[in-house]
Amino acid sequence: MSDEPAAEAQQPSFREIPVLLFVRGLLLLSVLTSAIVGLHWYLGARLLRDALVPEPFATIGWIAVWIFFGSIFAGFLGGRLFPRPIAKIFQWLGFVWMGAFGLLLVTTAVSDLALFIASKVTVVDASWPQTRALVVMAIVFPALLWGFYVSRRPQTKRIEVKIPGLDPSLDGFRIVQISDVHIGETLTRAFAKRVTFQVNALSPDVVAVTGDLIDGSVARLRDEVAPLGGLRGKHGVFYVTGNHEYYHGGSSWEAEGRNLGFTVLHNEHRVVADGKLVIGGVTDVEGARFSDAHAPRVDLAFAQAPAGVPRILLAHQPRFAKHAKDAQVSLMLSGHTHGGQIFPFMMFVLLQQPVIGGFATIHGVPTYTSNGTGYWGPPFRIGPRGEVTEIILKREENSGGEVA
């Protein structure tokens, strides 16, 4: 007697699966919302209640705290549900507060620890909580202003990388990498123009765009990304998808990349510089969630690539290196991490990625991970600067290392 009917009976039905996913998502949202509510209450308690802010300012402050709390969710939902002029307002409010909230939270928590330690060695009088609130504000607000200023001004960063087997004629070959530009509601056409000018001023041999170009659909952002069609490299502009492309239509953004004049590397390669260098690229690891055709395949990326020719691989996330360890990659260029974007949150990057940023050998693959050119979410960079990266390839016998 067959066991198949019994086995089938144990499987959730087609109709049950969406219900299970909905319940799981609802539980996760409830936990996250409760945690965020609690942390907002903590900020209000420390910076308003404990600081003995007088009325009516205390009440106004508490109202502002809960309005700001709501703005986080409004920012995420508004970007998808409302027309662009309205969406921009919601996203600006939500993302500005998200950045301010994170920095206020960390600074207040550190001040709590400092007060606890101080209470063990001296007498903490009633004025300390008020002083603490003033000190927190004096640290956070200038930091936010500086972080906003630099977030829109990526630095030009230069590194040299030794490439085994590099042809002598390519010693000094220059690849300019941009990554995580995140054109959307808060980084718009003006930023795309700035980045394009900055890249072209370097007169690169190759431009590498390593994913997360956008934060929105093609229909919403086509005009905003249009200036990037002016990017120029002697041997071309090469583009691979990041995870954010897949949140807004990966295939559509690949097609738009082609419209911009990019060479889209969808698990494929091109041979450049008279056959002396191979540029390969894979789709982002998130692509597999949306379609098997968008799963990253390094074997396909270098299929029939000429033997003995150095290989440059574009892969959005540095963790992809473990899949490229046997692909004879001379250098992998990645992004995704933003270098952590806002201090001290870069430590959380290491929960998902092998590096925060910079040059490292990962699973035997020499990898450069960009801090990103733009930013995601909060319009701030506090600590790690955004970058347009000029990567200079050097023959192995020449000395290498970061020079700027």
Task: Give the model confidence (pLDDT) of 83-127 as tens digits.
Answer: 778 888 888 999 999 999 999 999 999 999 988 888 888 877 778
Mean pLDDT taken over the chain: 90
> If residue 175 lies in a helix (H) or strand (E), which one and from where to where?
strand 173-178
Write the DSSP assignment of 216-277 as a string of letters. S-HHHHHHHHGGGGG---TT-EEEE--HHHHHT-HHHHHHHHHHTT-EE-SSEEEEETTTTE
- Kindly give, in sequence order, each residue whose CB lies less than 8 Å from that of residue 282, ignoring residues fewer than 6 positions away: 240, 265, 267, 296, 297, 298, 301, 313, 314, 315, 320
Q: What is the pLDDT of residue 18?
A: 62
Q: Is the pLDDT of residue 189 over 60?
A: yes
pLDDT digits (tens, 9 = 90+) for 117-160: 888 888 777 788 889 999 999 999 999 999 999 999 999 999 99
Per-residue pLDDT, averaged over 183-198, amounts to 96
Cα distances (angstroms) measured from residue 121 to each of 114, 116, 118, 277: 11, 9, 5, 64
pLDDT digits (tens, 9 = 90+) for 16-27: 456 676 777 788
Q: What is the pTM of this model?
A: 0.88
Token digits of residue 67: 């309005």
Domain ranges of the chain: 16-149, 155-402
- At 32, is the pLDDT very low, low, confident or very high (cuts 50, 70, 90)? confident
pLDDT digits (tens, 9 = 90+) for 233-286: 999 999 999 999 999 999 999 999 999 999 999 999 999 999 999 999 999 999
The number of beta carbons lying within 10 Å of the beta carbon of residue 187 is 23
- Kindly give, in sequence order, each residue whose CB lies less than 8 Å from that of residue 339, ignoring residues fewer than 6 positions away: 346, 349, 356, 357, 371, 372, 383, 384, 385
Q: In sequence order, what are the beta bridge partners of 279?
A: 270, 312
Identify which of 234, 292, 238 has the alpha carbon closest to the alpha carbon of residue 265: 238
Q: CA 65 to CA 43: how far, in whole Å?
A: 8
10 against 34, higher pLDDT: 34
Rg (CA), the chain: 24
Cβ-contact 208, 175 below 8 angstroms: yes
Q: What is the longest distance spanned by two Cα atoms in the chain?
A: 81
Fold of the 155-402 domain: Purple Acid Phosphatase; chain A, domain 2 (3.60.21)
Amino acid present at 36? I
Q: CA 266 to CA 297: how far, in whole Å?
A: 9
346-374: b or e for each residue (b if 16 or more CB lie within 10 Å)? Answer: beebeeebbbbbbbeebbebbbbbbbbbb
Token digits of residue 167: 């042809």
β-strand pairing of 358-362 with 365-369: antiparallel
Q: Is the pLDDT of residue 5 over 60?
A: no
Identify which of 203, 155, 188, 201 has the alpha carbon closest to the alpha carbon of residue 339: 155
Identify which of 354, 313, 305, 355 has the alpha carbon closest to the alpha carbon of residue 330: 313
Give the CA-trace dihedral at 215, 221, 222, 225, to 10 degrees: -60
Per-residue pLDDT, averaged over 194-217, amounts to 97
The least confident of 115-129, 284-298, 375-389 is 115-129
Cβ-contact 194, 251 below 8 angstroms: no
HSE on the CB side for 101, CA within 13 Å? 25
Per-residue pLDDT, averaged over 326-345, amounts to 96
